[in-house]
Amino acid sequence: MENSVDNTPVKGCTSGLQPPLTAVLLRGYQTKGGFTMKAKRNLTASIPDETRKTVYRRDGYRCALCDDTHGLQIHHVVHRSCGGSDDPMNLVTLCWRCHAEAHGTLIPERHSYLPKTAEERWVTWRSLIDEYEQLCVEYLSEYYAIHGAEWYPYK
Ligand SMILES: [Zn+2]
Ligand SMILES: [Zn+2]
């Protein structure tokens, strides 16, 4: 990254997170071949199968954000490096596309402008992570409130 890039952390803890450096940050419809395959690979590998199933079941085998039923993956809302746990309370079902967007590595199709400079990519990356963190927090806190539990994603 260039020195002029704003390095203040995105909302929440992002230690261990790096902005994407290579040929990422493409709008969905522009992704093909290698990149799509890369995005489709699950970003979270180490969650026990039983926990995975619990989370998928809770979320109705749908993406919590767009209702897609294909390419489902599990996302840590609060990153482990920030004290987020592998408890279902900290996990949410996302489709591969929303998951890549939540990590700031895929520009949603609704974005009409594709970032070009390093600064623009950085700003977009940060705002996507913030936006999707907020959406996931809203989804989970509402779900647990409805079921009479206080949402607590930490260990
Ligand atoms: Zn989705
Ligand atoms: Zn994730």
For the stretch 54-64, pLDDT in tens is 999 999 999 99
> Both tokens of residue 154?
């930490």
Position 51 pLDDT exceeds 80: yes
Q: What is the DSSP letter of 4?
A: T
| Cα 55 to middle of ligand 1, angstroms | 15
- How confident is residue 71, by pLDDT bands cut at 50, 70 and 90? very high
Tell me the per-residue pLDDT of 9-45, one tens digit each, with 9 for 90 and over.
444 444 445 555 433 444 443 444 444 444 444 445 5
Amino acid identity at 155: K
User: What's the predicted TM-score (pTM) here?
Assistant: 0.75
Cα dist from 146 to 88, 118, 149, 150, whole Å: 16, 42, 8, 9
- What's the rounded Cα separation, in Å, for the pair 108 and 112? 9
- Cα dihedral: 64, 41, 116, 11 (round 10): 50
Ligand positioned closest to the Cα atom of 75: 2
| Cα 103 to middle of ligand 2, angstroms | 6
- Quickly tell me which residue has 């279902």 as its tokens: 88
Tell me the per-residue pLDDT of 87-107, one tens digit each, with 9 for 90 and over.
999 999 999 999 999 988 888
**What's the start-to-end Cα distance of the chain, in Å?**
33
